Chain A
Amino acid sequence: MKKDKLLQGHKQIGKRFVTPMNQLPNFRSARYVDDMLPELIWVALMIDRIDYVPAARQFESFCKIAIDALDEQRSGFAFASTYGAASDDEKSELVRKLDAAGLLEDVRESIGPLNRLYPTSPLAFIGMAEAESDDCLFTMEDCVGRFINKHETPGIVLNGMILTSELITETISFSAEMDLPDFNSVLTDPDSDSAKHAGGFLRAHALSSFGFCELDSKWARDFWNRNLELYKCDFETSSHD
């Protein structure tokens, strides 16, 4: 019987075996939890508050207004740092247009905990609704816990919001002949093969889009380190201390 070759697809360079992905020229890996989740957490908060479909509509409306308000920006509308990098005028314009469209209070309600608890939130300029700090702590913890696994439905949907933003802002389009997965199955039949196919597609697309944006990691670092201040560790084992 022929033996399976170990580390198939890897390329030996000196004493290292390089993965197929790392052999790709200019490939830059992106980390979902470390870097992408802090950028997407504001969208996750929308979903957490009003559920998937209404949140998707709210997010679509937000993106349509944003592409109009942010003159220079043409991509990355799902990522918080995109808005943080906008000029003061663009930020004011975005707030004004959200208000005019009747969206501002709703968005503030959703992302309020983020702006209240994280002083360096890139979306701080949007402001916040009134809420108790304890509620905000609970809301954030619940939200992160729900969306932290990119293989479960909330995480897949969150990854999918990147594609949604690109379709709305017309920074991506698919040929009519292209055989796209059934994205609805992620919600309607999450355990199906179809949902797994769609989930894989959305995660892979999110990773490449995120890498393409080359966002500064400052906000991601701020977000996680702020959590160390806000929340206590939860250890399973006891130490000698």
Chain B
Amino acid sequence: MTIAEQGRPAQGRSAASSGKRPSRLFRNPMSKIASIPMIFTAVVIFLGGTVWTVIYSFTSSGLLPRLNWVGLAQYDRLWTSRKWIVSIENLGIYGICSLIGTLLIAFTLAALLDRKIRGEDTFRTIFLYPFALSFIVTGLVWQWILNPELGLQHIVRGLGWTTFNFDPLNNPSIVMYGLLIAGLWQGTGLIMCIMLAGLRGIDEDIWKAARVDGIGTVKTYIRIIIPMMRPVFVTSLVLIGAGIVKLYDLVVAQTSGGPGISSEVPAKYVMTAMFGGQNLGQGFAASTMMLVTVVIILIPWAYLEFGGKKRG
């Protein structure tokens, strides 16, 4: 109540101004005042911060940011650094597998849940709970399950298959798949929920028509339902893509980038350069490259989403 009373003085002003309708600039001033935090965040932090980092990526900043222009030298160094190349390759492997894996698993689960089954809520609760957990928790749990001496490998060997070998976290060539297992476990639930919402939005008549035409369930999904769910798939792709580029916490918790540098990722490279190595310029250049990656992902999406409708 008291807070509402405080709003009173502003009331009179805005009501009066809208009554007379003067220039647009002075309409609802309170709305503009109330939006200051948003404007500040959008313009200064998001836009300003991004531009600032891109500009400083062309300098030789080390411990402190300095405007000593060095052109593309930081980028040259970046792309000759083996750690960065490994990071990019890792992200590529993880990204492709995670994208395909998430879409496949999430859609299959959503389709199964959509078959009017009993206990749907229970299943959905189980599939989605990992999403409530942080990547740190996820990484640490899977680090323990994949522990070679006491975890999964040990159990399977104990069952009689003594040559069973699955130790991804200590094997440089498959370490990214160890991360993938954890990443998929954490993230598929969300996409499944989005897909399920999409499936629920499909008209029941489509199913009836397909049945009348004698088209099988699986074929109906592949030929009719999936093409109809294009917007849902696009949203999922963007969400998965944005998540992949941000991959950081999981790596820190599960492998710390090891063994050696075999599970390094770009986000971790940036953090190490900026806050660990006192090598700001490298961090700025690397994060600019991350931005470029996201822009490459986002442009086709923005085009698909908005280009057709508004400008077409």
A and B held together in a complex: no
